[in-house]
Structure 1
Amino acid sequence: MAKVSDIDVLPPKAMDMGSESNEGDEQSGEGLRMKKELGLMNGVAIIVGVIVGSGIFVSPSLALKYAGSKGMALIVWVLSGFLSMIGALCYAELGTMIPKSGGDYAYIGEAFGPLPSFLYLWVALFILVPTGNAITALTFAQNILKPLWPACPPPDTAVSLIAAVITCFLTVINCYNVKWVTRVQDSFTAAKILALLVTFFASLWYLFSGHTENLENMMQGTITKPGELAIAFYTGLFSYSGWNYLNFVTEELKEPYKNLPRAICISMPVVTLVYALTNVAYFAVLTNDEIHVSQAVAVTFSVKILGMMSWIMPLFVALCTFGSLNGAIYASSRLFFVGARNGHLPLAISLIDVKRLTPVPSLLFLCIATLVLLLSNNVESLIVYVTAVEALFTLASVAGLLWMRFTRPNLQRPIRVSIILPLSFLIICTFVVICSCFTHPMEVGIGVAFILIGVPVYYIFVVWKNKPQWMITVCNSFNLFCSKIFLCLPENSKDL
């Protein structure tokens, strides 16, 4: 175990946020490193567990709102799953071609250089990850409190407090032991699939009782405006978001060349099927008007079909969101860890606990960012805001795949997908992003503006080498303080 007095082995140059060191990417040498503890089924559990979260319980009403009819909404859900599957297969090539943790951050950096990768990290740090986690935590809190306030929404203060508590609790688990994280993830993934299957079979019982009126005229009212359909796809894609999270933890995955694509090919069809069945269940039991006015479709569904047992559905939703938040915290914290390791964030975020081998400072930083965003409650705007920005960088990653096909043809590719897949993904996602600009220009504009703000930040804190001495001193003091208080060291440190 490291002594506190030994923590000052941190190299002064690396402690400057502006150092673009690649030391963390080196795979050689023995020292302090996170362990490869994730097998194939752990990978499947992470993907399914992260994807199946708040989206399937929040998005159905929004998808129906912008699709116009149940039939078109169902088509949107299936096509969103298909598009996510194409994206995931493209990421399987990227993940095995560039076997580094960090996902899009690593791929964009390899293809286009440090500035675009920093911009992804910048946006993920303040928008993508904490906002997604905040939505999931709030959904958990609303549903776990619903039995106590069956006739009205739970108080906002109580919801925010419970959401904060669960975020902190899962952060502690992630800080303590990776095996605990995977056990929680495996257990809750199985529970959430069971919950959604119960929803489907309950709707079958309802249909066999003679209630088929809600599935008649499924295409009536279909909206064909490109802008409206683009937002419908946003709500669907938001519910599938997380299919690339396993790429964030490639360095902790056993046999990544085999297990990464296998996990994707197992999990994505399962999620698409489960989502389609769940939406059929909602549409069979609820009318269009009931879905439109519902803030939590699953709860409205349970009240109508389960009667006195309706309390069980909020519990199921809470289980789903609990597992989703756990997986998101685990995977996304590695993104910030890798970014800091490469000099794009303060070195403190790249430190590893010397006893538990977990990135404690990165996890705590993510927890704080999520807690700040728990005050927001406009889910629709958040979904458009997050998905639009995420789509732009997903496009950049897939474009990077195509770019490296021509600029680096000799790069080892254990998996090589047909060029039709990334081209199709690129064209479809570009169309969706452009169309969304016409219906929600403010949300998309804010996202693009925030990306552009990252450019001067990059040049000030990363590129600028002759920083004032006071700035260097502040950075060094902060990094050293974190090292001592958390008993953490940089990766590959041998002074243990």
Structure 2
Amino acid sequence: MTDETSNSYVRRLGVWDGAAIVVGGVIGGGIFRTPATVAERTASGLPLLALWAVGGLLTLAGVLCYAELGARRPQAGGIYIYLREAFGSLPAFLFGWTMALINYPGSVAAVATTFADYFCRAGGLPGWWVKPVAVGAIAFIVGVNLFGIRAGAWMQNLFTILKVAAIAMLVVVGLALAHGHVDSVLAVDTTHQVPSGAWIGALLPVLFAYGGFHYLNDLAGEVRDPQRTLPRALAMGMVGVVVCYLLVNIAYLTGLGHAGLAASIAPAADVMSHIFGARGATIMAVGIACSTFGYCSIAIAGGARVLQTMGADGMFFRSVGRIDSRWHAPQIALAVLGGWAIVLTLMGTFGQLLDYTTVGEWLGHAFGIATLFWYRRRFADQPSPYRVPLYPLLPFVFVTTVLGVIVATAIDKPHDAGMSLLIIALGVPVYAVWRYRQRRQVR
């Protein structure tokens, strides 16, 4: 088992580093595109903003639950650790199998390709440069993280500042276009009919845009004074994300109107183009490139820690579980995750993988937070450095809402949901193989 006495991570991340990881892990490329999808499924700006507020509150409930889990078990691995302790090694392995081997590298491949696309647009490079730039970005991020969490944190903090600056510019431009009026926010869009119950479908992309807040828990083994730092960083980072998302959507509505937002393919670029023309679109492309690059950095760092923890548990190659004694980084896990992400980037199959593993990811969130009930019951007599408020209401609301989202997704996309469950099920025989290897090594 991996615990604080057996690993060699060094606790170097402070509150601001942790908050930057939360912001960077949540804000990728989704907020620059997803609001258009939400606008298509709502009738006016008011319900659109309400959905983003509701999604933010639900995610904050999940973040507060993760804060208690992280404070109770401040180790690298996050959900994998919680599932292993509460429900056993099989559910933990299935989570790691789905996330560390498929979802993490798949999302890195997808977002790195998005980064490369915007990077090439901003630099005027031809389309055939996209894949080489994406591969180079992944290799560069892995290379920096090989030198430890401090080097990765410096890079992450820089790109978090750049992405927040891009969002601030977008908000200022959007509000400037409003000329002090709120008509575009409150006006009802009569250009298309919205069926009753469509708000449920509109909530799905909102919740997915708020995903990624769990990465800090994956890095909990490198957080200073984790019992105090984790709750503060998670809360600060997530509140900042919710405020950013609401302001960006207000900027879209004031700059484009609800109908214009619903019809836009690239709303952020459209808002900037209103004032700055083609140069504005280029500026926004640079901002989105910074945002997506920062997300890739966090996903690689967090995913490698999960992979390393699995290796240390004997649930993957033992060599992957090693931590470099000089730089205190899971260098082999980083190389494996980055290498697999590069393969997926070159193959171009990451889109389907992400569609297929979405249900598995959110199942992991639901069961991960459900472990809080087990911890409260199992360690009822032990004091916790942080306790989620309004327990058991907040974890119950989050778990039931996420399960509802999964059911709605399965109804809307039964093929993708079925493939996701199949991928999870394929992990069962793989788990049996690794358990067999463990027993043979013990003899």
Query: What is the aligned residue count?
Result: 437
Provide Cα deviations, 1:267-309, integer angstroms capped at 9, x if missing partner: 1111101011111111222255654454433223222332143
In the TM superposition, 1:176-325 aligns within 5 A as 176-208=147-179, 212-213=183-184, 216-217=187-188, 223=194, 228-287=198-257, 290-292=260-262, 294-310=264-280, 311-325=282-296
- CA, structure 1 residues 128+410, in 2 after alignment: closer, same or farther (shift >3 Å)? farther
- Structure 1 position 149, deviation (Å): 5.5
8 Å Cα contact 1:40/1:259 also seen in 2: yes
Distance 1:78 1:218 in 2: 20
Provide Cα deviations, 1:429-484, integer angstroms capped at 9, x if missing partner: 121111221111111111111111111111122246566xxxx8xxxxxxxxxxxx
TM-score (norm 2): 0.91
- Structure 1 position 99, deviation (Å): 2.1
1:426 to 392, 399, 413: 399
- CA, structure 1 residues 159+63, in 2 after alignment: closer, same or farther (shift >3 Å)? farther
8 Å Cα contact 1:230/1:433 also seen in 2: no
Could you tell me which residue of structure 2 aligns to residue 401 of structure 1? 372
Q: Say whether residues 1:75 and 2:50 are aligned partners.
A: yes
Aligned residue for 1:427, secondary structure, equals helix
Could you tell me which residue of structure 2 aligns to residue 87 of structure 1? 62
Could you tell me which residue of structure 2 aligns to residue 335 of structure 1? 306
2:116 to 121, 141, 147: 141
| Structure 1 runs not aligned, ≥5 long | 1-21, 473-496
Aligned residue for 2:61, secondary structure, equals helix
In the TM superposition, 1:40-189 aligns within 5 A as 40-67=15-42, 69-147=44-122, 155=127, 157-189=128-160
Distance 1:209 1:404 in 2: 51
Aligned residue for 1:352, secondary structure, equals coil
Could you tell me which residue of structure 1 aligns to residue 3 of structure 2? 25
| Structure 2 runs not aligned, ≥5 long | none
8 Å Cα contact 1:131/1:386 also seen in 2: no
Could you tell me which residue of structure 2 aligns to residue 9 of structure 1? none
8 Å Cα contact 1:245/1:328 also seen in 2: yes
Aligned residue for 1:286, secondary structure, equals helix
8 Å Cα contact 2:8/2:325 also seen in 1: no
- % identical equivalent positions: 30
**Letter of the structure 2 residue corresponding to residue 281 of structure 1:** A
Distance 1:254 1:299 in 2: 39
- Structure 1 position 203, deviation (Å): 1.1
Larger-gyration structure (1/2)? 1
8 Å Cα contact 1:54/1:135 also seen in 2: no
Distance 2:358 2:267 in 1: 21
In the TM superposition, 1:436-451 aligns within 5 A as 436-451=409-424
- Structure 1 position 212, deviation (Å): 4.7
Distance 1:102 1:120 in 2: 11
- Structure 1 position 76, deviation (Å): 2.2
Q: Say whether residues 1:350 and 2:325 are aligned partners.
A: no
Distance 1:432 1:95 in 2: 24
Distance 1:112 1:219 in 2: 50
- Structure 1 position 384, deviation (Å): 5.0
2:425 to 429, 448, 452: 452
Distance 1:51 1:230 in 2: 21
- Structure 1 position 43, deviation (Å): 0.7
- CA, structure 1 residues 359+434, in 2 after alignment: closer, same or farther (shift >3 Å)? same
